[in-house]
Amino acid sequence: MPDSPRPLAVTLQVVSIVLFTFIGYLNIGIPLAVLPGYVHNDLGFSAVIAGLVISVQYLATLLSRPTASRIIDNLGSKKAVMYGLAGCGLSGVFMLACAFLTDLPWASLGCLLVGRLVLGSAESLVGSGSIGWGIGRVGAEHTAKVISWNGIASYGALAIGAPLGVLMVKGLGLWSMGVSIILLCALGLLLAWPKRAAPVVSGKRLPFMQVLGKVFPHGSGLALGSIGFGTIATFITLYYASRGWANAALTLSLFGASFICARLLFGNLINRIGGFRVAIVCLSVETLGLLMLWLAPNAEMALAGAALSGFGFSLVFPALGVEAVNQVSAANRGAAVGAYSLFIDLSLGITGPLVGAVASGFGFASMFLFAAAAACCGLVLSLYLYKQARSLRKSPE
């Protein structure tokens, strides 16, 4: 049962939990706009390797999802979040080491890749753990609110972290990112330690692969819609550089700001009109924004396209996520969140090398046409799932 039926009290309860997602994703956002340029320009590796450095984090998150889900369902969400924050801090140590090895490109790249692997594994614990912790504290009827606020925390942190990382590196040097990540994680652990844990729900635990099968269609729609975000997050700095435009980090901030505004303004629509309908509208808007980025003749049009893409992508995760979580019992909620989130990890994991190859072959602008086509496919899939769900509701018992 929820701790309080009052909407404001529920929201404050949720915000106090997703704060840890904010801290975790701030650690992800700080190096996001710096690392592609560092790997490509300072270390001298190709655009594909630059994309791989970003994407390997998401691949690690993907591979660690089953383990993270078992920890959440069996040991509790609070412990999962604390383990994840500790892992984020460890990734900061590797980031710090890589900063002092710039003159040894392969050694620096190696430290960077190990740190990204650790960070990706930690992300699966912090992100899914915070969702499970929040739902456990306020009740399953507020699932959409928990997922929405968790997304606000994550993408808000990315929007703040990207320009913050650029400023820190310019003013202090690459080492400052490693130190800031370590300090942020220490703060997160201190804040999480005294908070009340959510109860561990008893019941039959389904095998992870069975849960994965139940959420597969919803996750596939999420994966297709996430390619646009992955493309913007990984390559927008190189895209701007190829055009001679300035303030690429502002594009990430505007994407995040639009994302947050859409969730704050329209997050309640999921409970009112259903997740599939919201996903259909959002994927349509995201497709339009990505097409604007593809055709952008100047930086202003690119900014507008990024903002529209962020606005569209904003509710895809919670909209399809609510429908996915409803496929399983409360005892398997952590596994469902983990299995569903696995699809965004897979999407972001393959986006770096795949879109990097597209950029190498056809130019940086072509990346956004590719991402728009993927979002359009996600739209078609969501339409199919919506019609299928309506047919099942109308069919006789």
Check residue 104 and give its pLDDT: 85
* Domain contains 262: yes
Report the candidate in 257, 355, 249, 348 with the shortest Cα–Cα distance to residue 310: 257
Check residue 3 and give its pLDDT: 43
List, for residues 16-74, the tens digit of each pLDDT value.
Answer: 999 999 999 898 888 877 887 788 777 878 777 877 787 788 778 878 888 887 888 78
Q: What is the percent of the chain with per-residue pLDDT over 70, rounded to a whole number?
A: 96
Check residue 222 and give its pLDDT: 94
- Tell me the C-alpha distance between 58 and 23, whole Å: 17
* Domain contains 244: yes
Q: How confident is the model at residue 290 (pLDDT cuts 50, 70, 90)?
A: very high
Cβ 197 vs Cβ 133: under 8 Å: yes
Check residue 203 and give its pLDDT: 65
Structure tokens at 310: 């962020």
* Domain contains 124: yes
- The domain tally of the chain equals 1
What is the DSSP annotation of 40-92? Answer: IIIS---HHHHHHHHHHHHHHHHHHHHHHHHHHHHH-HHHHHHHHHHHHHHHH
* Domain contains 106: yes
List, for residues 90-144, the tens digit of each pLDDT value.
Answer: 998 998 888 888 788 888 888 889 999 999 899 889 988 898 888 888 887 777 7
CATH code for position 149 = 1.20.1250.20
How many Å is the maximal CA-CA distance in the chain? Answer: 70
* Domain contains 202: yes
Helix (H, G, I), strand (E, B) or coil at 327: coil
List, for residues 374-396, the tens digit of each pLDDT value.
Answer: 999 999 999 999 988 887 776 55
Q: How confident is the model at residue 88 (pLDDT cuts 50, 70, 90)?
A: very high
Q: How confident is the model at residue 397 (pLDDT cuts 50, 70, 90)?
A: very low
Phi, then psi, of 97 in degrees rounded to 5: -65, -40
Q: What is the percent of the chain with per-residue pLDDT over 90, rounded to a whole number?
A: 26
Host domain of residue 270: 7-394
* Domain contains 1: no
269: how many CB neighbours lie within 10 A of its CB?
A: 17
- pTM of structure: 0.71
Report the candidate in 342, 360, 347 with the shortest Cα–Cα distance to residue 235: 360
Q: Give the CA radius of gyration of the chain.
A: 20
